[in-house]
A and B are shown apart, each in its own frame.
Chain A
């Protein structure tokens, strides 16, 4: 069953067009990355899916129902949400906070204790939340979102404030949930590191969908150049001459230092260049960098091409 279906959704606040003609779907066992600058419509999209806002036009369906309708309330047990910034109840301990949310979701408080352990907060469960670091708060937020084993998980900026190790652990947990068949929407503007953990990316700009697809699809669509960097003991000019047949002109090859050259090339040339470079005995190192999610993001936001689906 399709978890989320947005079809030609429009949302207007007073006289601001927050979203226009947005169409998206999310299937079970899929992680969709939702990217965009501030005010691009990420949060509005989340609120529409959560039923906190009603679309001005178009169809929003979650579990096949309209989430802003009253009877949707019973399906909310199956949704986990981690808001962007939540300070919880500073006077309560971590355990008390999670127990409160567990009761509201009609989940056994013993299960909540199990989650606290899994999330790595066991040492701090009896401390007041106001003494928690940002990372611990974020873990508590995630534990809250995982109560009742959700079928749909919405995460808004989940790794803000987490250190690299905690971020890795966090994504590990997302991968695990996806493997169990949970559908995840991951909203973020921290792009590095996210690539490996998402199945598809949706890029929003000014309330419109700029791009939607897997990273490979987006790369093909954007056709952004890859970056090649070679290091050699040879003098730069000699190296440049030897590699002259690779590109139309050697002008584009930039020296990084005395022994390293860097240039951009069309992704279609990748294998040809690799074969040629591999035959070059004087080279000490070869590095090919494909366009990152970040450069794809910049490409789609800065060159408005609209996606119709």
Chain B
């Protein structure tokens, strides 16, 4: 068996042991079941309303939580092993830096995937069982796409976390850096776009603007989950309404977003002094 699998297996086992997977799954399950059934409470309705509404609400929730969880899970992946002295030891083993990094990604990625599948799967199952007048395959398809894109988004932020972890020399700095990344991509980026849009009264390169959304993986994730639904996006996503990025394009962009930070993390890891 390749060392990648041994490392992934250890990370996954650690995830079960310290109840990380359980905690994340429970959070996802509670929030998603809640949103599925109470999402429309604001408009005076309780119970399942519609699939598009549910998925869009879930996406707005996931966009905050998933990056945070991924960053939290992986920020000490390299700097932590370094502080414990195990990194030096591992590198004297028949094992390359790329294998170590990929093993971590596979392990942490499986944790994200598993928690997302179980957590959001729970709400798909309650909808299938309790909601009336719904089309089963539609629900499965929508939730399947949601889980896949959410896992990919998680992996993108795992990549960011590895890059930070390979770069800094102390765990506390990695934690600070992770928080900064979260702020930038989840809050500041959209605010800045929205601000520009409002300040220029929408005249700032209207053709270019939707493409700017592709510069933020969280927006790509939200665009994926708006696809196929005629519900218009809220906030900055409204600008992409007329634009028809196909799912192929959006998923490819998300995969590119995964390769970029992982590649950077690898370069930084190679240059990291021991």
Q: Do A and B bind each other?
A: yes
Query: 1/0 per position for B10-32, CB-CB distance to A under 8 A?
Result: 10001001100000000000000
Tell me if A87 and B84 are in contact (CB < 8 A): yes
Total number of residue pairs linking A and B with CB closer than 8 Å = 62
> Does any Cβ of B come within 8 Å of A168's Cβ?
no
Tell me if A52 and B88 are in contact (CB < 8 A): yes
Contacts of B95 in A (CB 8 A): 73, 76, 104
Q: Which of A85-113 contact B (CB under 8 A)?
A: 85-91, 100-101, 103-106
Tell me if A83 and B6 are in contact (CB < 8 A): no
Which residue from chain A places its CB closest to the CB of B90 in the assembled complex?
A104
Tell me if A144 and B89 are in contact (CB < 8 A): yes
Complex CA gap A91/B13 in Å reads: 11
Contacts of B1 in A (CB 8 A): 103
Q: Which of B84, B85, B96 contacts A73 (CB 8 A)?
A: B96
On whether A83 and B93 interact (CB within 8 A), knowing A91-B14, A100-B10, A104-B3, the answer reads no
Chain A interfacial residues counted at CB < 8 A:
28
Contacts of A90 in B (CB 8 A): 84
Tell me if B89 and A103 are in contact (CB < 8 A): no
Q: Which of B10, B18, B85, B92 contacts A79 (CB 8 A)?
A: B92
Which residue from chain A places its CB closest to the CB of B5 in the assembled complex?
A103
Q: Which of B17, B85, B93 contacts A85 (CB 8 A)?
A: B85
Chain B interface bracket (under 10, 10 to 19, 20 to 34, 35 or more): 20 to 34
Contacts of A76 in B (CB 8 A): 92-95
- Tell me the smallest distance from the CB of B91 to a CB of chain A, in Å: 6
Q: Which of B7, B17, B91, B92 contacts A91 (CB 8 A)?
A: B17
Tell me if B274 and A47 are in contact (CB < 8 A): yes
Q: Which of A54-79 contact B (CB under 8 A)?
A: 70, 73-74, 76-77, 79
Complex CA gap A184/B100 in Å reads: 28
> Does any Cβ of B come within 8 Å of A35's Cβ?
no
Contacts of B90 in A (CB 8 A): 104
Tell me if B94 and A86 are in contact (CB < 8 A): no
> Does any Cβ of A come within 8 Å of B86's Cβ?
yes
Contacts of A70 in B (CB 8 A): 96
Complex CA gap A83/B91 in Å reads: 11
On whether A89 and B84 interact (CB within 8 A), knowing A47-B274, A103-B1, the answer reads yes
Q: Which of B134-163 contact A (CB under 8 A)?
A: none
Query: 1/0 per position for A240-261, CB-CB distance to B under 8 A?
Result: 0000000000000000000000
On whether A74 and B86 interact (CB within 8 A), knowing A47-B274, A100-B6, the answer reads no
> Does any Cβ of B come within 8 Å of A31's Cβ?
no
- Tell me the smallest distance from the CB of B92 to a CB of chain A, in Å: 5
Complex CA gap A85/B3 in Å reads: 24
Tell me if A52 and B93 are in contact (CB < 8 A): no
Complex CA gap A91/B15 in Å reads: 11
Complex CA gap A305/B86 in Å reads: 37
Q: Which of A190-235 contact B (CB under 8 A)?
A: none
Complex CA gap A77/B95 in Å reads: 10
Which residue from chain A places its CB closest to the CB of B10 in the assembled complex?
A100
Q: Which of B6, B17, B84, B93 contacts A86 (CB 8 A)?
A: B84
Complex CA gap A87/B10 in Å reads: 17
Q: Which of A50, A88, A100 contacts B92 (CB 8 A)?
A: A50
Contacts of A101 in B (CB 8 A): 89, 93
Which residue from chain A places its CB closest to the CB of B84 in the assembled complex?
A87
> Does any Cβ of B come within 8 Å of A297's Cβ?
no
Interface centre among B18, B93, B95 (most CB of A within 10 A): B93
Contacts of B86 in A (CB 8 A): 86-89
Tell me if B14 and A52 are in contact (CB < 8 A): no
- Tell me the smallest distance from the CB of A270 to a CB of chain B, in Å: 45
- Tell me the smallest distance from the CB of B87 to a CB of chain A, in Å: 10
Query: 1/0 per position for B67-103, CB-CB distance to A under 8 A?
Result: 0000000000000000011101111111110000000
Which residue from chain A places its CB closest to the CB of B88 in the assembled complex?
A83
Contacts of A51 in B (CB 8 A): 92
> Does any Cβ of B come within 8 Å of A81's Cβ?
yes
Complex CA gap A100/B96 in Å reads: 16
Contacts of A86 in B (CB 8 A): 84-86, 88-89
Complex CA gap A101/B89 in Å reads: 10
Q: Which of B85-128 contact A (CB under 8 A)?
A: 85-86, 88-96
A-B pairs with lowest CB-CB distance, top 5 = A86-B85, A76-B94, A81-B92, A103-B6, A50-B92
* 24 pairs of residues in contact across A and B, judged by CB atoms under 8 Å: A50-B92, A53-B274, A73-B96, A74-B94, A76-B94, A76-B95, A77-B94, A81-B92, A86-B85, A86-B86, A86-B88, A87-B84, A88-B84, A88-B85, A90-B84, A91-B17, A91-B18, A103-B6, A104-B3, A104-B7, A104-B93, A104-B95, A105-B94, A106-B94
B interface, CB within 8 angstroms of A: 1, 3, 6-7, 10, 14, 17-18, 84-86, 88-96, 274
